[in-house]
Amino acid sequence: MTTPAEIADALRATSFLEDFTDAHLWKLSRLVTPLTLVPDDTVFSEGEARQRFAILISGAVAIEKSSDGRTTRLVTLGAGEAVGEGLLLDDSAHGTTARVIMPGIAMVLARAQLDDITRESPQLYAALVARAARAISARLRRADATLVGRGRTLGFGGHRTRQEHDLLGERDVPYEALYGVQTLRALENFPITGIPLREFPVLIESLAAVKEAAAQTNFELGLLEQGHADVIIRAAREIRAGRHHEHFLVDMIQGGAGTSTNMNANEVIANRALELSNQHRGAYDVISPNDHVNLSQSTNDVYPTAVRIALHKSLSGFRIELARLADAFGAKGVEFAPLIKMGRTQMQDAVPMTLGQEFMAFSHTLQEDVDRLGEAQSLIREINLGATAIGTGINAPPGYAELACKHLAVIAEVPVVTAFDLVEATSDTGAFVQLSGVMKRTATKLSKICNDLRLLSSGPRAGFGEINLPAMQPGSSIMPGKVNPVIPEVVNQVCFEVIGGDVTVTMAAEAGQLQLNAFEPVIAYRLLRGIDMLRNACIVLNERCVTGITANADRMRYFVEHSIGIVTALVPVLGYEIATDIAKTALASGRGVFDLVLERKLLTREQLDEMLNPAAMTVPRDTQEFSPVTIPSA
């Protein structure tokens, strides 16, 4: 695609330039420059001056908005659409970033060429501005279709609808919507959490992976003709790349064991496949959500399989961040290794240790759970795809389960395996309970660590004050100068949520009856939400707390030198009873252990210097070298 004629033909086929005159296309083809779209490259970035706009010939681009280091995907644009057309309308900086999500080709018009058009071809410029306005209007209509439900009716789209029917009758569906009548009913039936499926992209992409694997398998087994299989696979791949997620609107908690989620996926893929076939949305006599997209499948094998893939992928990300947090504590353990402090048990002075030992223990206990989560992750890989309704494989051809699993492992990049007993696998939720238990274990440990960080940093003058947490924000609307440990506090609350979610998962798993558990939606919601929250909590705790912790060495040493806890080191030589009497006297009189032992002539100064050296008390040592003590007679 290098000659003006080839470029003009490519531009003519785009929806953005629909009905453009040949004269305008001919001029434009000599001004635009082809751009190869590489996934994760940016066409423009938020905050940059507007310098170009692009018309997508192939591939796809996501429009993203960043806030506080987090990126939100607003919309995705595909072949035929324009990106950055705001250049035609004003000179303000880009308010979003355009990131490539599918490889392809775009035709780019730079500001310099646009300036030339404005001066030399005002009619062409006016035509481009009109197309930009039309594109913005179309996006408003599409956005409108994705906001329908929960009591809201059509607004921007002018009440344009298409009619669809199901078992219960006919309904009007927003014309621009890729979802269909069953999704519309689910929006009306389940206004529960206000958290739609689109808030969990990993689950949407996992559903699309299952549908792609099923279509490929059905084609190879002779059940689906190539034309249908090709467009279904293309639609599923677009969804896996991040497109069309705004049309996945059903609430995460729903009745029906996930049927609404499965049908939402079936309808979006069917309608997108129809578009790719140059058919109208809703033309289900051509490509059907049930007969083609859901061929050889049931919600009862699709939904749990997709949930397991989503959990597996989510766990991989969580384990990475948990390991990084453990490493951050470990780095502090090394940094604080020389610093002596008083260890405590049951909130009372115990024996000396180093602050490095304390932080290294935090590191090791979290690293253990990176491994435990890996073990739970391995159980999640067993799937029941091919089981269909209850595990008997009704309506699926021989060999379907094995072949679908093989394709799914490649597509999803997860080493899934087909369960040995599909009837058992369809009704059993044991792997979810296991995972939830490990997540509760991790949350419990993480919360305990945050409790310790808050306690060790308490003060600054009337508390422990042994460490300092980074100051993140003012702590009080009435008390000047107060700074609170807000990062450990928010992580505590995440952990409370996950621990409570374990009860939900347990009850939902127990409530399953006979050949199916109808409550997997709430299990999926709690697990996926809990993993996301724990992952985010690890990032926040690491980046906004742990790496900035500092120690108050003098204060910690003061506590050691004035604690009666060091008397424990004398027990092997003096005996428990004498050591207890020394501790009691020291506590009552306010005098030091060292002075009382010398006064009673129980040990020499040299022996005491060695035995009560705080650094020496932080590691095992041999006390047999000290002379036995003869207790003086009264």
Q: Which residues are catalytic?
A: 476
Instruction: State the Cα–Cα distance between residues 318 and 449, nearest whole angstrom.
Output: 18
* Cα angle 431-433-436, degrees, rounded to a multiple of 5: 110
Residues in the chain: 634
SS3 of 206-268: the string is HHHHHHHHHHHHHHHCCCCCHHHHHHHHHHHHHHHCCCCHHHCCCECCCCCCCHHHHHHHHHH
Residue closest to 28 by CA, chosen among 179, 100, 167, 131: 131
DSSP class of residue 416 equals -
CB atoms within 10 A of CB 197: 24
Instruction: State the Cα–Cα distance between residues 375 and 438, nearest whole angstrom.
Output: 9
CB atoms within 10 A of CB 207: 30
Q: Which helix (H) or strand (E) holds 109?
A: strand 104-110
Cβ proximity of 7 and 32 under 8 Å: yes
Q: Which two tokens stand for residue 356?
A: 């490095």
Instruction: State the Cα–Cα distance between residues 608 and 620, nearest whole angstrom.
Output: 17
Cβ proximity of 117 and 31 under 8 Å: yes
Instruction: State the Cα–Cα distance between residues 34 and 97, nearest whole angstrom.
Output: 20
Cβ proximity of 104 and 59 under 8 Å: yes
DSSP class of residue 155 equals -
As beta bridge partners, residue 98 has: 44, 63
Residue with tokens 């080493």: 415
| Cα atoms found within 13 Å of the Cα of residue 100, Cβ hemisphere only | 20
At a CB cut-off of 8 Å and minimum separation 6, what does 28 contact? 8, 11, 17, 20, 109, 124
Instruction: State the Cα–Cα distance between residues 583 and 565, nearest whole angstrom.
Output: 8
Handedness of CA 116, 119, 124, 128 (dihedral sign): positive
* Biggest alpha carbon–alpha carbon distance for the chain: 118
Q: Which two tokens stand for residue 272?
A: 């997108």
340, amino acid identity: I
Query: Helix, strand or coil for residue 345?
Result: strand
Region of residue 68 (phi > 0: left; psi between -120 and 50: alpha; otherwise: beta)? left
Q: Could you tell me where the DSSP H helices lie in 394-429? A: 400-412, 422-427
Cβ proximity of 592 and 586 under 8 Å: yes
Q: Are strands 52-56 and 104-110 parallel, antiparallel or unpaired?
A: antiparallel
Q: Are strands 60-67 and 33-37 parallel, antiparallel or unpaired?
A: unpaired
Instruction: State the Cα–Cα distance between residues 480 and 2, nearest whole angstrom.
Output: 67
